[in-house]
Every structure is written in structure tokens, then in C-alpha cells.
Chain A
Amino acid sequence: MIDNGGYRQFDWGLLLLVLLIGIAGVIVLYSASASEFDSIQNMVFVKQIVWLGIGFVLVLVCLLFNYKSLDGWAMAIYVLNIALLVCVIYWGREAGGSRRWIPLGPFTIQPSELMKITITIILARYYTRHSSMEGLTLRSLFLPMVLTLVPFALIVAQPDLGTAMLILLIAASITVFVKIEKRTIGVLSGLLVILVPVVWTFLLKSYQKQRILTFFTPDRDPLGAGYHIIQSKIAIGSGMIFGKGFMKGTQNALAFLPEQHTDFILSVLAEEWGFVGTSVVLLLYLLVIIWGVSIAYQCRDVFGIILAVGISAMIFWQVFINMGMVMGLMPVVGVPLPLISYGGSSVVTFMLGIGILINISIKRLGV
């Protein structure tokens, strides 16, 4: 079976897809940051190109080692990342009411972003050793739960609900993928059914309940999230089939949408490029994710499979949640659209993920 040492050609297809999304992102960002008053346009758009460049370099860096060594480093990476999250609490830079960043010379790093990859690595290591065809038992689930909830709690405390939720979703996806025992599923869902009403009636104060209800139904907050969603839907819908054209978006230009160049970037894309343009970008994302899953499919090493699935899940959830939110299908949470939303940390994490995927695809055959 082992015939050629397992090395195959470099995965140009995946890199090309990523490049296309990156180019689409820069075009949309250019338009999104072009408001009639601000001159930040050039800054935002040039900075994003720089980050993309750094990202592609990171992809290459990821090829310098064999992904299998991540299995050995997993614990160290995890502990380091947790330590960084703790540092954020004490020395983090505050912006917009939350503390997420650690200043590092001219750059800042956002440990919560890196945690998305780290959680994948540590869980891949654990499940490689503990999964079986019967599924995970309650006992074997204990440690992964702790490993997930510790960073989750630290990120909620920042507070960064969007990223915390992503960590939870990535961990859950990986866990469900390696299979949970039927009886355990029964116990867990039973626990949930009992706990949720108890917490709701006895533990939460009425203002907290209000906040949660508003979170799930933005209509309850017509002056805040509800209004943003309406404006976002108008922007998207008004794009119609072919869009209003590059730089012709009106909703965008008047700054009605909050964070139009970060979380709500899709509304600019959809307004200017219409159903056709947006569908193309959606298709590009779908292809990247399917590509990632097929890398897992061709991999013959359990650790590699789980790692590839985790990274694919990370990309999937970010795209799905962000788009669902902007289109008014989901609550408003701060989750950026990978590679299109402005932001260095998000680009870096995404590209690290891509780098690891390519690494798996090259060295997947195992030793």
C-alpha cells in the first residue's frame, strides 16, 4: 500500500479558490469604505491587501513542517493559547467595549481568533486516541468539554460572543463527526431539556431574559439590531438580479449600516453585485469547504481527517452564521465573513487553516 512515500503535488486548486475570494473581498471593501465623507478608504483597502499578502506567506510557512507534528505539539499550543487569553484579561487593549487584543509592536494579536485553530488541533489529538465506531461515551466526553469550555468562558468574558460561539460550534461539529454514543446523546439532550427551563425560570433575571429574547428576535429592538437587519435586508434586496454596479450602492455610501466594512460587508457585495455576483461568491466558499472535506476524505490518517474536518467546520460556520445574520435569518452576532470582512486577525486565522489543509493534502498518506 505504501508505495511513494505519500507526497503528492501541491494543491493549487484550493489556493486559487482562496485567491479569488480574496480578490472579491478587496473589490467589495474598496467600495464599502468609500463613503462620501471619509478618507479612510485607501487605508482600509491597502491594509487588507497587506494582510492577504501576509496570509499567503503564512500558507507557505505552514508547509515547512508535517501536520502530524501538530499532534505532538497540541498540548503546548493549547496551553500557550489559553495563557494568551488570560493575558488579554490583564493587558488586553480595549476597543468598542471589549478587550480582545494584545498589542505586539506595530501589530496586535487576537488570541480568541487563534483559538479556533487551536481547539481543532487539541480535539483532533484527543479524538484520534479516544474515538471508536460505537461512539463517544459520556466519560470520554468529559475532557473535551473541559478543553472547550475553558477558552469559551475566557472569550465570553472579553466579551466576544461571536467568537466564543464559533469555538463551541467547531468543537461540537468535530465531536458529532467522530460520533457520540446513542445513549450519551440521550442523556445529554435529556439534561438540556431539564436544565434550560430551570435556568430560564429560576436563574435569569428579567432584564437578562429580555436581552436573550431580543437577541433571537431582533424585531424586539426596532431601534437597534432590528433596524440594522432591516437596512441590511433593503441593501441586499435592492441589489436584485444583477446588482447596482461597482461603487453604486446607496445604502452603503450613506453609512446606515454599522460595521459595513466588517461584519455587514455582505450587504455591500449583494447590493452592488446582485444575486449573480453573490451566488458566485457563495459558490466559491462552498467549493473551499467541500475541498477541505475531500482532503479529509483522501487522508488515511485519523488525526489528519479530524483536523481537516475541524478546519472545514470553522470556515463553514463563519460563512453560514455571517450570511445568515446579514440576510436576517439569524441573530446578530459579531462574526466576520472570512477574507472579505476587513480585519487582520480573521485573515490570518483563515489562511493558517488553509495552510494546514494544504499540508494535509500533500502529506496525507501517513508514514
Chain B
Amino acid sequence: MNFYRTVDIDWFKQRLVMVMFCVTAAFAILVARLFFLQVIEGREYRRLSENNCIRLQAIAPTRGLIFDRNGKTLVDNRPAFDLSIIPRDAKNIETTLEKLAAYTGLPLSRMETNFSENRGRNSYNPVVLAQDVGREVLAVVEARKFELPGVVVDFKPRRHYLYDGFAAHLIGYLGEISRKEMESDRFAGYKSGSAVGKCGAEKIYDRLLRGEPGGRQVEVNASGQVVRVLKTVDAHPGNNVYLTIDFALQQKAESLMDKRAGAVVAVDPATGDVLAMASSPSFSQNAFVDGLSGDAWRALVDHPYRPMENKAIQAEYPPASTYKIITAMAGLEEDVIDTETTVTCPGYYRYGNRVFRCWKRGGHGKMRVVDAITQSCDVFFYHVGQNLGVERLAWYAKACGLGRPTGVNLFSEASGLVPTTQWKRKQLGKPWHGGETINVAIGQGYNLVTPTQMAVLIAAVANGGTLRKPVVLEQVRTAEGKSIRRGTADILGTLPASEATLDILQKGLYEVVHDRHGTGWWMVRSGKVDISGKTGTAQVVASPPEGMEDEEEIAEALKPHAWFIAFAPSNAPEIAVSVIVEHGEHGSTAAGPVAKQLIEAYMADRESKTS
């Protein structure tokens, strides 16, 4: 036993000698390498180490462009240059800055503040002195580069909104990333100082648009000038985003809303594609790119008509008479009324000791449901609402997509409000009054909707009952043109209405424009296309904006909001539109013509394309 083990051990000993040999050989390799680096090539490496000669320079990627549905460029990038300084190369920063100011004419104090504010811990990191300098500055710096050690010019393309203010809320704008944004999941991994989308498509598709930065390894001389480029990794350009909006239609919508506050949303009822989404007043996106002053920003935020708000999705208004579509639907479906049910409108409706007036003081006389929609008779719908009760009305409103965001891929969409007894008890701590149901039935009271919600609703009435999620993204293509993502058509639900009910509603909406007594007869009827729609006039209950003193202005601010929701052509709808004009006074006069002209423009454009 013992004998066997000793043999074994001796056998291991031979192998251990081999191990020692291998280890020594491996170390010989290390020493040889060390000798090569430090002794043979040492002088060259010493030289390279002296000024930290091998450096990395970032190459900014080109941000993807934004197009409309037909491939028209809406947003691109323009070449621009930033002036920076590398403190370590500059040697004497003050004199270098003074010289720079003298040669270029750029204000010295600005550069000095920028330098002290932006300076980082590593003195080899470039510090930005001036952004977006002109080509003449570039030429001067290039010509005098030996007198300006450490000064570098970086090519930094800037975002350029070709049609400044065009679809500004939908497209969004770029700005420097904030501290809060850097901590958010959306921008995880972004570097400080990077430009990111602040709202709209620029923000939502930021990761797709931004591309990937590249860089180069360069060797520089003692004053920091590049002597040669060792290696380059190209930047990857970002993807191009195609929106569903139609340039011409969007432009038309914006020009129609010029000098008014409000919103226009146009969708394709068959797909949910948003053809136009305008919120007025708009703002200049390029002003943000160039850097907005504090005053300019405050002026935007304090503006009484809220230019920074995307009214199409963020503003909530009482739906007013446009809501009668839902009241009628609920009444028909719940068998509270049928096509023949007649209500006589004397111009008022008595409930308990309160009197609710019809908008037509003298009364409408005998009304059936189609007439009531056509002439927007309040009294008829007071009756229907009273018989339905608020809970059933609320159920239908919710089933029609109200009271919750439509899910359009944009930020901060408001959900609107569908009041119920439970809601009132919870939120206001008060019981529901029967009279409130009467107000709700004609879209006043606590009801709140966004223009986009109404666009989805009217599109559903047009397309036979399908509530489609509004789609703003047509597709995303790589810089090479390969389509990598398409907007997805989602169905939100189906209107709670039978075919017969929809037929009645469609008939009513048609008569609004085509019946001599219809509320849209005078202002909306078009010789070119059959339009169906519904007017609405929303009472403003709030007090005028703060700080408003001019009496005329105050009177203006207390005027009701004007609604018009419509689709066309009536028999085979291709477009559905929702228009609100704040303080437009009457749906028929203020909002109706906007819808009409928009629809006419769209149909004319369609015809010219097909013919």
C-alpha cells in the first residue's frame, strides 16, 4: 500500500517539474512583452503620453427626420458648429478667450460665463463656449488656430423645423435633457447635455430618432490640434418617422384656426389615422432649439390661450349639443323612444320648480328624434334624459369612449369626465339632483370631453360603429429606407348601438346640414360634398382668465365655445372631423365653417389624386 503510494508521488513529481517549466515560460513571455513596450518602444510611448496625445472625439449622429404621410419633409437638421475649448491644451485660458473674442467678435463675457458654468472635472474634456456659431467664425478660428491653442470647432447639426409652428404640438421640439428626465426610465442611459424630444413625436420616438453616436481616435499635437486620425467609428443616423398627418390638410386646419383658440382633429374613419391635429394658438419650435429666454418662456406659459397645451388631447370642454348623439342612442337602445315618439317643445321644460329653456325661445313644436337632432331641440332631449336617468346615460357615454383617454400615442392625454351619482358623491361629497341629469342629457353640467374623443366618436358613427384608436405614426424607416415599424390600428370598442339606431343617428346628422331647419343648413351645407354633422355650443361657466382687465376681452372670454363634429361624404365617409373654437359663440357659425372648408379641401385633394 505504502509502496504504491510512493510510486504515485514520484510520478506526480515529474509532472510538477513540467508545471514549473510552463509557469516560468509564461512569465518569460510577460517579461518579454514588458521589455518590448517599455524598452524597445518606450521612447515612442513616452512621447505619446506627454500631452495625452491619443484622444477620443465623439461624432454626433444625425437625428432622423420627420415626414408627413405622403413623405413630405416636416423636420430636418441644418449644419451648425459649436465652439469649444480644451482647458488643458489652452494653457492660459483667459488670454486665449480674449484673443478669441477679439478675432471672432463673440462677446467675451458670455464665453467666460459659459466656460465657468460648463467646466467639468476632467481638464481634457472640451467645454462649450458658444453654440451654433456662424461660418465666418469658423473661418477665423481655422485661420488662426495656432494662436488659439485648445480651441476646437465641433460639427453639431441642429434640429430645424421647416414650417415653424406647424403641427408643433404633434411633432414636438428638442431641448436639453433635464435632471428629472435623466432619472426617468424613458431616458435611462442618456448623457447630460444631450438634446431630447420634449413633447410630441420628438419625445415619443426619441430613441428611434436619435441614432447612435460614433467617435474617432485621434492623435493631437501639443496645442491640441489633430495631427492624424487613427480610427473612426461612424455614427449611425437615426430612423425617419412618418406621421399619419397630411401636410396640406394640417396646413388648412391651422390656417382656418388662425387667430382663434381651439383645436381641430381629423381622422380617417376606416383606419383611425389622424389626418390633421391642430391646436391653436401654436408656438415656434425653432425658438426652443435656439434656446428660449426666460421671458419668452414665461410669455408662452402665461398666455391666456395656452399655446403650449395640445388642446386636441389635453383640453377638456363640455360636449354641449354634440352629446345629443349619445342621448339619442341611449334613448333608442333602451326603448325610451322610437322613431315615432313625439315630444312637443314649447321652448321650455319644467322640472320641479325649475324651468329649463330650449335654445329656441319660441319652441320647436312637435319633435321626433330625427327632427330633434336636426334642430338640436333641447326639450326633446330633456325628456329622453329624464326618462333614462343619469346612470344609463353615463353607461352609454363610457361605451362611446368618453371618460377615458383614447390611447393616442401622445403625452398627457386628458380623460374627460362622465358624471355619475357615485362620482359626485365621491368627488364633491354631495348627492345627485334630478335637474343635473337634465343638463347632462344636452352635454352641459359636469360632462367634459376632449376634441380627440369626439373625433373618435363621430368617426365611429360614420364607419358603422367601430371606435378606433387614433393613430399618429404611419411608419418608421431606417436611414436606408427599410420600414421597421408601422402604426398599429387598434380597435377600442364598438358603439352600443344597433344598425337601426345608427341609421337613425346618421339620418339625423345628415339632416342637420341638409334640412332647411337644420342647425348646419346655412353655414355648413356644401355644394361639393355631402356633409353630416352636429353642432354644439358649450356654455362657459368659469370666470375670465386672471389678470384680464379689458372689458371687451372679458366679454370675449365669457362667450360660449363652439363645437362642430362631422363626417363626409355622408354615404361613404372618408374623413371625420372634430372642431372646437373657444369662445366662438355658436357651433354653427364659428366651428361649422371650419369643418366644412377642411372637408372640402380634403375631398378636392382626394379627387385630384384619383383623377
| A interface residue numbers (CB < 8 A to B) | 1, 37, 133, 177, 179, 219, 222-223, 226-227, 230-231, 233-241, 250-251, 254-256, 270-271, 274-275, 278-279, 282, 285-286, 289-290, 293-294, 296-297, 300, 302, 305, 309, 312, 316, 320, 323-324, 327, 329
Contact = CB atoms under 8 A, between A and B. Distances in A.
A240 B46 contact: yes
A237 B41 contact: yes
A327 B37 CA distance: 8
Contacts, number: 142
Contacts of A240: 38-39, 42-43, 45-46
Closest 4 CB pairs of A and B: A237-B45, A238-B49, A240-B42, A222-B231
Given A238-B45, A286-B24, A316-B26, A275 B35 contact: yes
A222 B231 CA distance: 7
Nearest to B20: A293
A316 B37 contact: no
25 contacts: A1-B2, A133-B8, A133-B11, A222-B217, A223-B217, A231-B54, A234-B45, A237-B49, A240-B45, A241-B38, A241-B39, A250-B52, A254-B52, A254-B124, A275-B42, A282-B31, A286-B24, A293-B19, A293-B20, A302-B12, A305-B9, A309-B16, A320-B26, A327-B34, A329-B33
B126 to A, nearest CB: 15
A316 B12 contact: no
B13 A239 contact: no
Contacts of A320: 26-27, 30
Contact of A179 (B15, B50, B122): B15
Contacts of A329: 29, 33
B26 A230 contact: no
Nearest to B42: A240
A324 B30 CA distance: 7
B34 A305 contact: no
Interface in B216-243: 216-217, 230-233
A239 B45 CA distance: 8
A293 B33 CA distance: 25
Interface in B436-462: none
Bin chain B's interface residue count. 35 or more
B428 interface: no
A316 B52 CA distance: 33
A205 to B, nearest CB: 17
A1 B373 CA distance: 116
A239 B26 contact: no
Given A275-B35, A275-B38, A302-B12, 17 more contacts: A179-B15, A222-B233, A223-B56, A223-B214, A234-B45, A236-B45, A237-B46, A237-B49, A238-B45, A240-B46, A254-B52, A286-B24, A296-B12, A309-B16, A312-B23, A327-B30, A327-B33
Contacts of B230: 222
A289 B38 contact: no
Nearest to B59: A223
Nearest to A366: B5
A59 B215 CA distance: 49
B554 interface: no
A251 B49 CA distance: 7
A28 to B, nearest CB: 15
B135 interface: no
A258 to B, nearest CB: 12
Contacts of A219: 231
Contacts of A293: 16, 19-20, 23
A290 B214 CA distance: 47
B16 A297 contact: yes
A278 to B, nearest CB: 6
B373 to A, nearest CB: 60
